[in-house]
Amino acid sequence: MYFTKMHGLGNNYIFINLLENTLQEQILPTLAKNLSDVRFGIGSDGMILICDSKVADFRMRIFNADGSEGKNCGNGLRCVAKYLYDHQFIDSTCFTIETLGGIVEVHISQENTKEVEFVTVDMGEPKLLKGMIPMKGDPTTKTINEPLTIGGNVYYLTCVSMGNPHAIMFVDDVHNVPLETIGPMIEFSDLFPERVNVGVVEVKNDNEIDYRVWERGSGLTMACGTGACAAVVAATLNGKLKQNQVITVHLPGGDLEIHWDEHNHVWKKGRAEYICHGEIKLDYFTKETML
Ligand SMILES: N[C@@H](CCC[C@H](N)C(=O)O)C(=O)O
């Protein structure tokens, strides 16, 4: 079984092309966990499968480093789009990809080179109701800067789903937040029955924010595409940014351009890069325990 390792701003995944191959469903969580292990595996933030779709041009499935399946992956989508176009699985520069969080449209741009340089994704509409995140409480209400007690501390959270759930809070300095401690506390809080991705945002000016993330199922990562979209939506809902502006989101792994447009769609533009290609010995990577 061949794999390609790619990253979007340091958010790195092992991609497996299932357009020409199959894998048994029951091995997928273990495979994702083992591939992601830095010491016994390849090392990654998770595994992404590129599949056929009945309702879109292609389908993407994302598994986090702990083997849990996510519903969407903004950085992964750009990588999948680049892979499909570069490997000539499609020759149109605009096509659709189905995810568990919905169908998105991707646009390829080659501004300076023959290879795909940037990918812009229409990530669709943000979902704000508690019932859609999902989180505990009245399912018909939104969570906008709501004080919530988690682990004995109060956090002011704004919750946004971009296909997957994000809890966002605003801070004075994103680099001075112990995300490795508060991230898992909020991720596993019983307020979020399906767990949650946790982000901190510092608004720099009308067009720029800093954003760091603790990802559900993968921990601290260098970037999160859906999270960057959620961060811009959350900042706009809190009156810290204006809608229909292109916002540069600075993440530890690089920058994304996010635009929440007047039609309520969130657009995301950024790079995707290859790291390496290789071959996986399935027997080794599907062992229940690698120790
Ligand atoms: N890094 C991703 C999101 C991956 C899934 C997430 N951890 C979840 O379980 O919701 C991105 O770029 O969006």
Q: Are residues 47 and 118 in the same domain?
A: yes
Q: Are residues 73 and 164 in the same domain?
A: no
| CB of 229 closer than 8 Å to CB of 123 | yes
Nearest alpha carbon to residue 79 among 97, 91, 67, 92: 97
Q: Are residues 17 and 98 in the same domain?
A: yes
Confidence at residue 113, expressed as pLDDT on a 0 to 100 scale: 64
201 within a domain of the structure (yes/no): yes
| CB of 278 closer than 8 Å to CB of 3 | yes
Q: Which domain holds residue 245?
A: 130-264
Nearest alpha carbon to residue 194 among 140, 128, 152, 133: 133
Confidence at residue 256, expressed as pLDDT on a 0 to 100 scale: 98
CA of 30 to the centre of ligand 1 (A): 18
Q: Are residues 242 and 200 in the same domain?
A: yes
Distance CA 171, CA 34 (A): 35
Ligand 1 atom with the smallest distance to the CA of 45 is: 1
216 is in an annotated binding site: yes
Does this model's pTM top 0.95? My answer is yes
| CB of 269 closer than 8 Å to CB of 77 | no
| CB of 212 closer than 8 Å to CB of 174 | yes
User: How far from chain centre, in Å, is Cα 123?
Assistant: 11
74 is in an annotated binding site: yes
CATH number at residue 115: 3.10.310.10
Q: Which backbone phi and psi does 49 adopt, to 5 degrees?
A: -105, 135
Q: Are residues 152 and 255 in the same domain?
A: yes
291 within a domain of the structure (yes/no): no
219 within a domain of the structure (yes/no): yes
pLDDT tier for residue 135 given thresholds of 50, 70 and 90:
very high
Partner residues linked to 167 by β-bridges: 159, 198
For the stretch 45-99, pLDDT in tens is: 999 999 999 999 999 999 999 999 999 999 999 999 999 999 999 999 999 999 9
DSSP letter, residue 174: G
189 within a domain of the structure (yes/no): yes
H or E element in which residue 75 lies: helix 74-86
Counted domains in the chain: 2
Confidence at residue 117, expressed as pLDDT on a 0 to 100 scale: 82
197 is in an annotated binding site: yes
Q: Are residues 137 and 232 in the same domain?
A: yes
| CB of 224 closer than 8 Å to CB of 184 | no
Distance CA 110, CA 273 (A): 13
| CB of 108 closer than 8 Å to CB of 81 | yes
- Mean pLDDT for the stretch of residues 141-153: 97
Q: Are residues 37 and 55 in the same domain?
A: yes
The protein residue whose alpha carbon is closest to atom 3 in ligand 1 is 73
| CB of 163 closer than 8 Å to CB of 101 | yes
For the stretch 101-128, pLDDT in tens is: 999 999 998 766 667 789 999 999 999 9
- N-terminal to C-terminal alpha carbon distance within the chain: 22
Q: Are residues 156 and 260 in the same domain?
A: yes
- Mean pLDDT for the stretch of residues 124-135: 98
Confidence at residue 111, expressed as pLDDT on a 0 to 100 scale: 66
18 within a domain of the structure (yes/no): yes
Pocket test for ligand 1, best of 14, 216, 229 (most atoms within 8 A of CB): 216
Q: Are residues 62 and 180 in the same domain?
A: no
Enzyme catalytic residues = 73, 224
Q: Are residues 197 and 259 in the same domain?
A: yes
Q: By CB neighbour count within 10 A (0-12 exposed, 13-18 middle, 19+ buried), where does 138 fall?
A: exposed
User: 260: which 2 tokens?
Assistant: 């929440």
Q: Which backbone phi and psi does 204 adopt, to 5 degrees?
A: -90, -45
290 within a domain of the structure (yes/no): no
* Residue type at position 39: R
Q: Are residues 79 and 60 in the same domain?
A: yes
3-state secondary structure 203-223: EEECCEEEEEEEECCCEEECC
Q: Are residues 152 and 196 in the same domain?
A: yes
